[in-house]
């Protein structure tokens, strides 16, 4: 009888351990599923988007669009993500990307997106635009290049070289780790239309373009604003 009792207790302990391990496994699977879901949400809208301050529309009559035949109020535009994003050379990019009529026109291993902002109001106005870094994974921003054609005027941005602390060749340095550039457009008259083309790629000639950035992500957006608010100075004044 003693042996039977011991065997029964041993079986109960084994069942409890199995249930505990099964529960742990379920929790791990649930956590992984949630992580997958969150990452899917974060990158579902692609690597680049454009947002419009509602004040620019409601008080100044500004519109953003990527189809000249469909000019309606939208607060956000999305670029399609390239199917592949391996490193390339800037010399491989077509030299007429800014001539596209609008929307996504990605190529092999680069993002290209053309859109417009138009003053449909009655007053001469101005606006700010910022290109903001939303997320970086595995320091891929060290080798990324982002080129802006603003009314055919071309500027290529890159992070300061980690090796030299100076701007990369033929580029303008990012303003900070969170901000690529900030520009002020003035004297934007009724009926004026500005065209933007954004091109983004990973520059293979960059010294930071190594296997360490494989699997990285880089997500940015361009934000049109009715005014510039220096958040850092604003917070400092509020503290004082």
Query: Does a structural domain hold residue 69?
Result: yes
Query: Does a structural domain hold residue 240?
Result: no
Query: Does a structural domain hold residue 238?
Result: no
Mean pLDDT calculated for residue range 57-68: 96
Domain total in the chain: 2
130 and 36, same domain (yes or no): no
Whether 56 and 226 have beta carbons less than 8 Å apart is answered as: yes
188 and 144, same domain (yes or no): yes
pLDDT digits (tens, 9 = 90+) for 170-188: 999 999 999 999 999 999 9
Among 78, 50, 39, residue whose Cα is nearest residue 217: 39
117 and 8, same domain (yes or no): no
pLDDT digits (tens, 9 = 90+) for 190-231: 999 999 999 999 998 888 888 777 778 889 999 999 988 665
26 and 51, same domain (yes or no): no
126 and 147, same domain (yes or no): yes
Instruction: Please give the pLDDT value at position 139.
Output: 87
Which residues are bridge partners to 202 per DSSP?
A: 144
Query: Does a structural domain hold residue 235?
Result: no
d(C-alpha 147, C-alpha 224), whole Å:
17
pLDDT digits (tens, 9 = 90+) for 9-21: 666 676 777 677 7
- Region of residue 124 (left: phi > 0; alpha: psi -120 to 50; beta: else): beta
Domain span including residue 167: 46-228
pTM over 0.95: no
Query: Does a structural domain hold residue 18?
Result: yes
Query: Does a structural domain hold residue 93?
Result: yes
Query: Does a structural domain hold residue 35?
Result: yes
Residue 198, token pair as written in the block: 């954004």
Query: Does a structural domain hold residue 236?
Result: no
């Amino acid at each position: 009888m003693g042996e039977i009792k011991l065997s029964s207790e041993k079986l109960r302990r084994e069942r409890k351990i199995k249930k505990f391990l099964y529960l742990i496994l379920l929790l791990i699977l649930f956590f992984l599923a949630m992580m997958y879901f969150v990452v899917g949400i974060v990158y579902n809208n692609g690597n680049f988007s454009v947002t419009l301050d509602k004040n620019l529309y409601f008080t100044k009559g500004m519109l953003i669009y990527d189809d000249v035949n469909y000019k309606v109020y939208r607060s956000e535009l999305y670029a399609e993500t390239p199917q592949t994003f391996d490193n390339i050379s800037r010399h491989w990019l077509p030299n007429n990307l800014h001539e596209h009529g609008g929307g996504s026109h990605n190529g092999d291993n680069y993002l290209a997106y053309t859109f417009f902002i138009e003053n449909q109001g009655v007053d001469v106005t101005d606006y700010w635009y910022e290109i903001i870094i939303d997320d970086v994974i595995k320091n891929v921003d060290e080798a990324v290049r982002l080129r802006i054609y603003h009314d055919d005027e071309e500027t290529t941005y890159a992070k300061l070289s980690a090796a030299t602390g100076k701007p990369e060749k033929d580029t303008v340095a990012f303003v900070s780790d969170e901000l690529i550039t900030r520009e002020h457009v003035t004297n934007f008259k009724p009926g004026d239309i500005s065209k933007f083309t954004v091109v983004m790629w990973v520059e293979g000639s960059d010294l930071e373009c190594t296997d360490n950035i494989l699997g990285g992500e880089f997500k940015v957006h361009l934000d049109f604003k009715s005014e510039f608010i220096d958040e850092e100075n604003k917070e400092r004044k509020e503290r004082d």
